[in-house]
Amino acid sequence: LREHEEFTKVKNIATIELGRYEIETWYFSPFPPEYNDCVKLFFCEFCLNFMKHKEQLQRHMIDGKKNKVYGQNLCYLAKLFLDHKTLYYDVDLFLFYVLCECDDRGCHMVGYFSKEKHSEESYNLACILTLPPYQRKGYGKFLIAFSYELSKKEGKVGTPERPLSDLGLLSYRGYWTRVLLDILKKHKGNISIKELSDMTAIKAEDILSTLQSLELIQYRKGQHVICADPKVLDRHLKAAGRGGLEVDVSKLIWTPYK
Ligand code: ACO
Specify the pLDDT at position 177: 96
Tell me: cis bond preceding 163? Omega within 30 of 0 counts. yes
29 CB within 6 A, ligand 1 = no
Q: In whole angstroms, give the CA distance from residue 193 to residue 211.
A: 10
Q: Any residues with CB less than 8 A from the CB of 224 and at least 6 apart, and which?
A: 193, 208, 217, 218
List, for residues 161-185, the tens digit of each pLDDT value. Answer: 999 999 999 999 999 999 999 999 9
Name the catalytic one among 45, 121, 161, 215: 161
Query: pTM value?
Result: 0.85
140 CB within 6 A, ligand 1 = yes
Does residue 258 surpass a pLDDT of 80? no
Active site residue 55: no
Which is higher by pLDDT, 2 or 202? 202
Q: Which of 1-5, 41-45, 217-221 has the lowest mean pLDDT?
A: 1-5
List, for residues 117-161, the tens digit of each pLDDT value. Answer: 899 999 999 999 999 999 999 999 999 999 999 999 999 999 999
Q: In whole angstroms, give the CA distance from residue 46 to residue 48.
A: 6
- Report the atom number in ligand 1 closest to the C-alpha of 162: 51
